[in-house]
Amino acid sequence: MDSTSGDGFFGKTLKVVTTPPTDTRHRFPGFRRRAPVWMAIPIGLAMCVVSGVSVTGQPPAGSVYQRLTPATAEPAAELAPDSPATAAPPLPLPLPSSASATPESAAEQAGRAERVVAAALAGLSRVPSVSARVRHLVRVDDMVLKGSGRYVQSGVGEDQRYRYEYRLSATDEEFEILDVCDGLFAWNFRRIGQNPPQVERIDVRRIRERLETLGIAHRQDQSAYLGGVQRHLGLLRQYFRFASITSAVIDDVPVWLIEGTWDRDTLAWIVKEKAEAIKSEAGVAPNELPDGMPYSVRLSISKRELFPCRIEWLAVPGKRPTSPAALQVVAMMELYDVRIGDPVDVSAFVYKPATEGLTDITDAYLPQVQPLRQ
């Protein structure tokens, strides 16, 4: 596992390299309390929940957040998380027809944003292979959690395998996560601090049977129901509604910058005590959501490959109740040194854990498998 994070951690260049597919590509036969359901969306949120405290503060100077510049003819302004370009005032959750634009223009832009995210998810399921390095940043009060790891994916459809591993560490804590599918089982290994490691597995065959029962014919998309980067992106698209899309550049890579907020019904189901306010016309302000819970998500998707290079979560940090304030980036996940179509070592998908601490969660997981929105 790659766990290095030196002084140049945030200075590494993001790049996406595509190798044309050939006919010879490989195919292959927190803690002890339960976390809220929304922690399953992205790794950034997962670590916010595991920490049990609010996420606050600014990213360090020279971070990846501050290297993002608009791809326009105007002078490029530095985009820090609390700058006007990224830190929106505390507004209620927007309705489909926002007052900031005509219904036609708002709907058109939202439709384009949704199509790009859907295309990125579909593309991930169809490429012959993906290899990328991963880095994370989460701020917890005055503590910074940094992490790195690797994501590897190979095969298409029922032959698809993936391995996603990373570590997050702070001064006296370390979190180790492994998410791997060998074609028979989807495994999840977690070691949180000094707590005993936990290993869970899901029977892939039964997931396929469940998808067939639900009438989901595109079985090449099965990883979106299991784990890895596809699962993260699939859940983001399921739980959020994307309403804006603009052009930007990250390390000379042209990207689509796409922002979205919670689907109201989903948010009302998660935050039941505020369900009535969430579904009202006014909605809820970011500072009215629970401590550590994001208000919005921002995706950076490369224009050429439609690959998700970066995911950022924004919220109003601080213990509740708190006053209205600008949104801040509270967690980030970035995939870089991306290679698409390169040969992949099949041993990456071999996983044989000890039986001690192993839990098969297939029966409990099956009812959660529902069609992702198209």
DSSP secondary structure code for residue 342 in this structure: -
Determine the Cα–Cα distance for residues 315 and 82; give it in Å rounded to an integer: 11
Determine the Cα–Cα distance for residues 166 and 50; give it in Å rounded to an integer: 15
Give the contacts of 276 (CB within 8 A, at least 6 positions apart). none
Residue whose pair of structure tokens reads 């595509």 in the numeric block: 18
Residue whose pair of structure tokens reads 């579909």 in the numeric block: 122
The predicted pLDDT at position 19 comes to 53
Whether 66 maps to a domain, the answer reads no
Digitized pLDDT (tens) for each residue of the chain, 374 residues in all? 433 333 333 333 455 665 544 433 332 222 222 333 333 344 434 433 333 322 223 333 233 323 333 333 333 333 333 333 333 333 344 433 334 445 448 999 999 999 999 999 999 989 999 999 999 998 766 677 899 999 999 998 888 999 999 999 987 788 899 999 999 999 999 998 888 889 999 999 999 999 989 888 665 578 889 988 999 999 999 999 999 999 999 989 999 999 999 999 999 999 999 999 999 999 999 999 988 789 999 999 999 999 999 999 999 988 889 999 999 999 999 999 999 999 999 999 999 987 777 999 999 999 999 888 87
The pair phi, psi for residue 237, each rounded to 5°, is -70, -30
The predicted pLDDT at position 354 comes to 77
The predicted pLDDT at position 165 comes to 95
Whether 347 maps to a domain, the answer reads no
Whether 200 maps to a domain, the answer reads yes
The predicted pLDDT at position 319 comes to 85
The helix/strand/coil state of 32 is coil
How many CA atoms does the CB half-sphere of 59 hold within 13 Å? Answer: 25
Question: 17 with 131: CB under 8 angstroms?
Answer: no
Determine the Cα–Cα distance for residues 292 and 231; give it in Å rounded to an integer: 22
Q: How many C-beta neighbours within 10 Å does residue 75 have?
A: 7
Predicted TM-score (pTM) of the model is 0.74
Structural domain range at position 42? 13-60+81-342+352-362
Whether 8 maps to a domain, the answer reads no
Q: Which of 242, 287, 291, 290 is closest to 262 using CA atoms? A: 242
Residue 319 maps to which CATH number?
2.50.20.10
The predicted pLDDT at position 78 comes to 32
The predicted pLDDT at position 158 comes to 85
Whether 7 maps to a domain, the answer reads no
* Cα 55 to Cα 47, 73, 314, 369, distances in angstroms: 10, 35, 10, 30
Whether 203 maps to a domain, the answer reads yes
The predicted pLDDT at position 18 comes to 55
The pair phi, psi for residue 117, each rounded to 5°, is -65, -40
Cite the DSSP H helix spans in 127-248.
204-213, 228-239
The predicted pLDDT at position 260 comes to 97
Identify residue 282 by its one-letter amino acid code: A
Whether 372 maps to a domain, the answer reads no
Whether 313 maps to a domain, the answer reads yes
Identify residue 80 by its one-letter amino acid code: A
Q: How many C-beta neighbours within 10 Å does residue 294 have?
A: 27
- Name the domain count of the chain: 1
Question: In the structure, how many helices (H) and strands (E) does the chain have?
Answer: 7, 14
Question: 70 with 76: CB under 8 angstroms?
Answer: yes
